[in-house]
Structure 1
Amino acid sequence: MKTILMIATGGTIASTGQPGELTPTLSGRELVHKLVQEVPLLDGLCNLDYVQPMNIDSTNMRPRNWLEIASHIEKNYDAYDGFVVLHGTDTMAYTAAALSYLIQDSPKPIVLTGSQQPMGNPFTDAKLNMYQSLLYACDEASHDVSIVFSGQVICGTRAHKQRTMSFNAFTSMNFPAIAVIRNNKIIRTSARAAHSETCKSAAHPRFYRQLDEKALVLKLTPELNPSIFELLKRDYSAVILETFGIGGIPEHADASYEKAIFDWVDSGRTLVITTQVDEEGLDLGVYEVGRAYANHPGILRGADMSTEALVAKTMWVLGQTSNPQERAQLFYTPINHDRMDV
C-alpha cells in the first residue's frame, strides 16, 4: 500500500465560521481525521501522513511560501510515494505553476486540491476533491505537478480559476486536461504520454531553491500612460505585459510605447509579452502593432502560457541567472507542458 504525505496550508477547505467571517482554523490533523471518518472509500487506499507548514487564506500565499512547500516535498521525497497539497483555490493555480518550476520531472505525483466550500459545510466539495486527489496520487501512472478538482486533473502549469463559486472552479488553459475521474476510475488523455516516459525514467526530480519575486503583471488599457514603465523601475526587474488581442500594443505618433518598452529592456530588465485574452495565445507577427517587439533582445514571448504560469516561470527564471541569453533559454524551454510553440 502506498504512503502519501498530505501538506496542509489552509484555504477554504480548512475554514470555519459564518459567511463573511470564514478563516482557516482546522489543522491538517483535523482534516485528515474528518476525511478518514467520513469517506469509507479511503480504507485500504493508502497510508496517510500529514504536515502543516502554514494555515493561511491563499490570498496571503507568497513566493516564500511556495519555497517552503517545495522544501517540505524535497526533504520528504524519498520517504513517500506521492504528495497532496491542500490549498485555497484563489491562488492555487499560481502555487501549482511555481511547484512545477521548483520541482521538475518528478516521477512521483505532486497534487494540489482544495474546495469551494469548507470541510464542515453539509454540501461541501472538500471530501470528494481530497478523495480523488489521493486516488490520483496512488495511481502508478501519475507523476509531476497537477491540480485535481471536481473530477478533473489539470497540468500544474495550465490551471486557471475560472469561477468564484461553482464546484468546477478550474479550467485547463490551451491544453487538454490530463485526465478525468469518474466512478473511482482515472480516465487519462494521451496529452502526456511521451512526457510520462521521461518522468518515469528519472530517478529523482530536479529541485530548485531560488525565486526572484520582482515580477509584475501589467494589463494594457486604452490610454494607459507608457511612463508607468519608468515608475516601475525602482521595484521590479520584470514586467509581464498583457497586450490587446493576439499581441497589439498602441502605436501612437510619438512612439511613446516603443520608446518606453525598449528603454525598459535595454536597461537590463525583462519584458514578457502575453495577451489579456484567455484562450489561444499570442502571435506578435500578425499585426503591425505588435511586430516591432517580436525580436528585440530582452523581450520574451509568452505564447499560449497562462498568466499564472508566466508569473511563476518569470520569477523562477530571474532567480536562476542574470544573463539575458540564459534567461531566454530557460524561459523558452517547455516545462510540465507550459507552452506549445516549440
Structure 2
Amino acid sequence: MRPVKNLFVLYTGGTIGMLQTVEGLAPAGGFEARMREQLQGQDEITLDWGFAELQPLLDSANMTQANWLAMRDAIVEAVEQGGHDGVLVLHGTDTLAYSAAALSFLLLGLDVPVLLTGSMQPMGAPGSDAWDNLGGALKALQNGAPQGVWLYFNGELLHGARVTKLCSDAFDAFTVLPRKRVGERTGSLPETLDYRQPRQLVNLAVLPLFPGLRAEHLRALLGGGVQALLLECYGSGTGPSDNEELLSVLREAHARGVVLAAISQCPQGHVAFDVYAAGSRLRDAGLVSGGGMTREAALGKLFSLLGSGLSQAEAERLFALDLCGERVDG
C-alpha cells in the first residue's frame, strides 16, 4: 500500500453525475468542473488528478462487455502512458459490482490501486451520498489503498471480486456476502491473463435452476452460440439429477466446447458437488465448481478467461483456481 500522488479519474456516467431531464434522471457531462468546484476548500485532499469521460456516458443499466473493455483500455493507457499511480472509476450502481468483478480479472498484474465508486443519489441532491463516497474514495487513495480492484461505498473498502449489490435504495447498498471461500491459489499468473493482453467479446449466459426447468429451455439457450454457461444451482451445487434429457443437453454442450460452470443460488452458499448425488451428476455432466464465487465474480472471470482465447480445458482449469482473491480469503 502506497499513497497515490497522481490519480486518474474515469467518469463513466451513473447516478453520481446525473441531471434531471423531462424523462427523468440521465447521465450528464461536465462532471469534472462540478468535482473541482466541490473540492475547492477541501484542504485534506491534496493529491493531483486528471480526468476523462468514457464515451458515451452510461446509465449503468446499459453496461456491456464492450464498455468493460473500453474502461480497461482507458485505465491501462492512463497508467502506462500518462504515468498515473492510481485510478478512480465513477460508475452507476446497477452494475457496479459486475464492473468491479470484470475489471478485477481484466487488470490482473496491474500494480496500482483501482477504486470504483458511485452514489445512490446524484451529486447536489439534498441528503445525497455522492460526496461521502467520492471524497472518501479520494482520501482512501491518498492515504494508501491496496493494489488490485476495490469498491469504495458508504465508508467501506470492499473487494472488487467479492462484492455484490444487496439493496436497491439504501446508502449501504453493497456488501461482501459471507460465502465460504475454498480453493487453491494459482501459482504464477499465466501471461495470457496479464492486463496488457488484448481481450475479445464472449457469448456468455447465466441461468438459475428452478423447478420445472425443461431440457428444451436449456437447448434453446445453448443453441445461440453460447461459449460459456453459468448455472446458478440449488444449495451446495445440486440440480434435477433425475432429468436425463436435461443432463444429456449439458453433456452434449460440454462435448462441443461450451464451458459449464456452477455457483450456488444461496447468498451464503458455495458449491461442493460431492455432498449429494444430485451434485455429482452435474459435475459428471461437465460442470466445473465456482466454489463460493458470486454471480458477478464468476461471470467476470469467465469473460476474462474466454476473452483471452483460452481453450475450454484451460479455462476450466483456471476457473477452478483463485486468481485474485475471488475464491480464497487472504
Q: Deviations over 1:33-68 (max 9, x none)?
A: 24313x72444x211210001311000111111111
Contact 1:219-1:243 at 8 Å conserved across structures: yes
1:7 matched to 2:10: yes
Residue matched to 1:60: 62
1 CA distance for matches of 2:322 and 2:219? 31
Deviation at 1:295, TM superposition (A): 4.7
1:299 maps to 2:300: no
Aligned counterparts of 1:341 and 1:259: Cα–Cα separation in 2:
36
**What secondary structure is seen at the aligned counterpart in 1 of 2:213?**
coil
* TM-superposed deviation, 1:302: 0.8
Please name the residue that 1:16 is paired with: 19
Identical-pair percentage: 29
Q: How many correspondences in the alignment?
A: 314
**Aligned-pair distance for 1:317?**
1.2
Using the TM superposition, give the Cα deviation of residue 341 of structure 1 relative to its aligned residue in structure 2, in angstroms: 9.3
Q: d(CA) in 2 for partners of 1:211 and 1:281?
A: 29
Is residue 111–residue 145 contact of structure 1 (8 Å, CA) maintained in 2? yes
Equivalent position of 1:206 in the other structure: 195
What SS does the corresponding residue of 2:104 show, helix, strand or coil? helix
User: For 1:53-102, what per-residue CA distance to the aligned partner results, in whole angstroms no more than 9, with x for missing partners?
Assistant: 13110001111111111111111114112010000000011111111111
Listed as ranges, the gaps of 5+ residues in structure 2 are none
Distance 2:89 2:120 in 1: 15
Residues 241 and 282 of structure 2 are in contact (CA less than 8 Å); yes or no, is this contact kept in structure 1? no
Aligned to 1:265: 254
Distance 1:51 1:141, change over 3 A: closer
Letter in 2 for 1:240: L
Give the match for residue 248 of structure 1: 238
Equivalent in the alignment of 1:331? 319
Q: RMSD between aligned alpha carbons?
A: 2.6
Moved over 6 A (4+): none
Which amino acid in the other structure matches residue 253 of structure 2?
W
User: Highest relative contact order (Cα 8 Å, sep 6+), 1 or 2?
Assistant: 2
Match status 1:163 vs 2:155: no
Cα pair distance change 1:306/1:7, threshold 3 Å: same
- 1:73 corresponding residue in structure 2: 75
Report if aligned partners of 2:198, 2:308 keep a CA contact under 8 Å in 1.
no
Per the normalisation by structure 1, the TM-score is: 0.85
In structure 1, the gaps of 5 or more residues are 177-193, 200-204
TM-score (norm 2): 0.88
In structure 1, how many angstroms separate the alpha carbons of the residues matched to 2:299 and 2:105?
11
- Equivalents in 2 of 1:53, 1:20: separation in Å? 22
Would you say 1:32 and 2:20 are equivalent positions? no
The answer to whether residue 313 in structure 2 is matched with residue 312 in structure 1 is no
Tell me the distance in 2 between the aligned counterparts of 1:341 and 1:303.
12
Question: 2:128 pairs with 124, 127, 137, which one?
Answer: 124
